[in-house]
Structure 1
């Protein structure tokens, strides 16, 4: 209580002293948002969003719908979905990890919530591997036995790494378990720009599951809060926040492809440009800089990143979602949204808005932090400003299943279906087999075959404008709920796709 009172007095005094300076630096537009962020840092979180505001003010990418999944959760940060579909949420300020029970009754909100672990030191990153829940605290890393089926922990919480530096700026730690058997752990810098005394700061480290063999894996990463592996080649990518106080538009924030032993520039190089304050201090090290794979706009503050592995929406096959926390030091605020990064065949990465609308003029609604994906393709996004979690799923307000990703002819461009590769005989054979698969799995119980039949929510019309044979075949491996996953062979999935695309 005394600590909160002291911080309140300190911030109020600071506002009185620095308001004129902030107004000069940011202008009226920037100051409005900046002042809200300062108050948010002291008093907890901003205004709570309601379900209606989410529907009316947030905009999600075509083919998806968004809803408010949970609210009033406080200063939430990172997420982890369990094998049972429950959602774990870290809360550094209260030192605990929440468990939100899966929405099994389909009312759009968690079936319940409870504190899974408490008494932690600013917990942030979470991951589950081999029956263990790993928690990255600001000064160490711990683990405890976790039963995903029951959503419970057993035994004692074990600190496997202690003594990590957490003074100064960027104290959060993020942990992820990799398929290579190692744990990866990120740690931000102590400052805006400086030469660190502690080599573990401004780095991504690697260690064994028992805490042994801890070493710096990559360095020169000012604040890589989020990282994930691309599912097509297992390359490790990490977001990184660029330094402040160089103006509105420099330096860019970064997405880096992380290699063992790689150096990524900070504090000597920003992206590919020498830092104006530190660029000449260590030219030998600066020369080792690895340029980013992609540059975000300056001060957008990219945090959590998640490669989509279960999306049934066309165009999101080689895609990562990135939470942009938003700027605090631009004259015109920027960021405050979730973007999708698309890896194109020619190697380029293209950014598109995925979930936006959190900043509307001077009205700040939220600040996205992390992204998690479930096996059914649902996407959860945490917001530490309003204390909310949003659920994004494939479909529109009414559609379910296959119809959720179908656009009308006026909305969707014609696309190559892939049917041209089949001879007339092959197409006929696949059509016949596909019809057997369709009838044999009772698809008509949920899907109408007629566009005039309004009795069902998922008419199978217009698929040829949205899917190719391959895309529709892939969709059957992870369909949009409530459509179940049918145990179809690759041949049956191909035949069913052909049948649905060529039938009258």
Structure 2
């Protein structure tokens, strides 16, 4: 079977490459052919290792990046839960994955498992009022989901069964709005055409029980990513422009989506009439709403996520957008995650947030989606290598956890060296009082089998303090302030270091 698939890939490559050479010239055709195979049949690249990620990828100043998981196959969209787990869709295998949060602080998910299977090309996922909603290519379903345990309850039930998934752009993206509705995008069946299905090339919405499914906005060729600006609750969506009009036209779009809005496709690209369909624009359509921001042509913006929890100054009004990358430019472009920052005058400034996925003909990955956990950690999915990357703000407890992930038992011998003698003594005394106040010794002793030892192998003061804010069950989360958590951590390290002398 693997040999058969290989020959199929080769055949497709032989068919695709001459087309690319004729239309786009020879520069970048090796990378472009790889991406074309990926787009057509899901053929991807190899799995990166942590060292390659560190060497090849660059992240914005003030942040650190690591390889969180790999070998996940053709993953697409994600959703971080309040418990810190990551849900991931895997359309080509019909599955939803669950990546357990990194409770042991080794920089990796504690467990990866299949949460749901047997679905029809699932893509968009979201959680609302105890339900996990899943957008399959031809419908939407839900199942009761316990966020704390990461377990589903009962049976998966289809709510919407009337969605078309023929032709191009079969993925459906789903997001829950603060207004109690669920919003659902459905891309076009073609590169450019007049659709016969009124649901295609739209964003729809429906009630949580699946009722009142209606078209919310139209003329959106393929709006894969959606999110709401936290300061205004306005809905923004990425949109992929049409192909075969050259390297630099039309731009891909970021649109502010409003009820009843019409966004041009197939008759208008951004604000320019389409050369094939511009003269066919029906007179009964609403006025075209041009994009609020234009991405470069063929960059393929997919997932968008407004940052709500990052502690880094300057990112308060920022959305991260995953650029999947071009398959049809003479010089490949995209293949990165950018930051869009809303300025005081309403304009939007673009800067690279993660770059380096493409270097010459060396393609590491294709970013798909961005999600943010409540602790400020940012996750990026890559369907080319089947990987998820984790980004944290420098100086945060999360970044110190990553820095403290070591294999050497002696790596944290100087774990308290950053404290003066007086500061260390003061914090240690306060920590000892807290240890007695909460009767920690009743659980952490030889008799219970949970003694506190070898902490310096896996933690430093900051990462252990962070652990106390969301400890691994059955340990309870005590109502400790930031200073109290630090004091308890210093006390435990101080006690451990004294015991080893």
Q: TM-score range by the shorter chain?
A: 0.7 to 0.9
Q: Which residue of 2 aligns with 1:369?
A: 368
Quote the residue 1:466 is aligned against: none
* CA shift for structure 1 position 229: 0.3
Q: Which residue of 2 aligns with 1:500?
A: none
Equivalence for 1:37: 35
2:109 maps to 110
Q: Spell out, residue by residue over 1:38-75, the C-alpha distance to the aligned partner (whole angstroms, 9 max, x if none).
A: 34353642111110011111000000000000000000
Classify the secondary structure of the residue corresponding to 1:280: helix
Give runs of aligned pairs for residues 293-442 of structure 1, distance below 5 A: 293-395=292-394
The 3 A distance-change label for structure 1 pair 287 and 310 is same
Can you give the 5+ residue segments of structure 1 that lack an aligned partner in the other structure?
A: 405-437, 447-455, 460-479, 489-504
Question: d(CA) in 2 for partners of 1:130 and 1:139?
Answer: 23
Q: Does the residue aligned with 1:354 lie in a helix, a strand or coil?
A: strand
Is 1:25 aligned to 2:23, yes or no?
yes
2:64 aligned with 1:65: yes
Q: How do 1:265-280 residues align onto structure 2 when only pairs under 5 Å count? A: 265-280=264-279
1:81 is aligned to: 80
For 2:11, the equivalent position in structure 1 comes to 13
> Structure 1's 201 and 481: CA in aligned 2 closer, same or farther, altered over 3 A?
farther
TM-score of the pair, normalised by structure 1: 0.79
Q: Distance in 2 between the 1:443 and 1:384 partners?
A: 47
Query: What is the match of residue 202 of structure 1?
Result: 201
Contact 1:399–1:457 (Cα < 8 Å) also in 2: no
- 8 Å Cα contact 2:64/2:399 also seen in 1: no
Q: Within 2, Cα distance between the matches of 1:30 and 1:21? A: 14
Take 2:51 and 2:397, find their aligned partners in 1: how far apart are those partners?
Answer: 16
Q: Deviations over 1:142-171 (max 9, x none)?
A: 000000111110111000001300000000
Say if 1:189 and 1:222, in contact at 8 Å, map to a contact too: yes
Is the Cα contact below 8 Å between 2:16 and 2:36 reproduced in 1? no
Distance in structure 1 (CA, Å) of the matches to 2:43 and 2:16: 21
Distance 1:294 1:357 in 2: 23
Structure 2 partner of 1:157: 156
> Relative to structure 1, is the Cα distance of residues 347 and 212 closer, same or farther in structure 2, using a 3 angstrom cutoff?
same
Deviations 1:438-475 (A, max 9, x none): 99x969999xxxxxxxxx9899xxxxxxxxxxxxxxxx
Secondary structure of the structure 2 residue equivalent to 1:175: strand
CA distance in 1, matches of 2:145, 2:334: 36
Question: What is the number of residues matched between the two proteins?
Answer: 423
| CA deviation after TM superposition for structure 1 residue 396, in Å | 6.7
TM-score, normalised by the number of residues in structure 2: 0.79
Distance 2:8 2:155 in 1: 39
Contact 1:400 1:481 in 2 (8 A): no
**How has the CA–CA distance of structure 1 residues 176 and 17 changed in structure 2, closer, same or farther, with 3 Å as cutoff?**
closer
> Would the alpha carbon gap of residues 44 and 303 (structure 1) be closer, same or farther in structure 2, given more than 3 Å must change?
same
SS at match of 2:27: helix
Whether the 8 Å CA contact 2:36–2:327 is kept in 1: the answer is no
Partner secondary structure for residue 33 of structure 2: helix
Secondary structure at 2:72 match in 1: coil
Task: Give the match for residue 135 of structure 1.
Answer: 134
User: Are the counterparts in 2 of residues 269 and 275 from structure 1 also a CA contact under 8 Å?
Assistant: yes
Conservation of the 8 A alpha-carbon contact between 2:173 and 2:224: yes
Shift of 1:18: 4.5
Q: Does 157-166 or 12-21 show the bigger shift? A: 12-21
Displacement of 1:37: 1.8
Q: Residues 379, 163 of structure 1: CA spacing in aligned structure 2 closer, same or farther, 3 A cutoff?
A: same
SS in 1 for 2:183: strand
| Partners of 1:173 and 1:444 in 2: CA distance | 56
Secondary structure in structure 2 of the residue aligned to 1:310: coil
Match of 1:226 in 2: 225
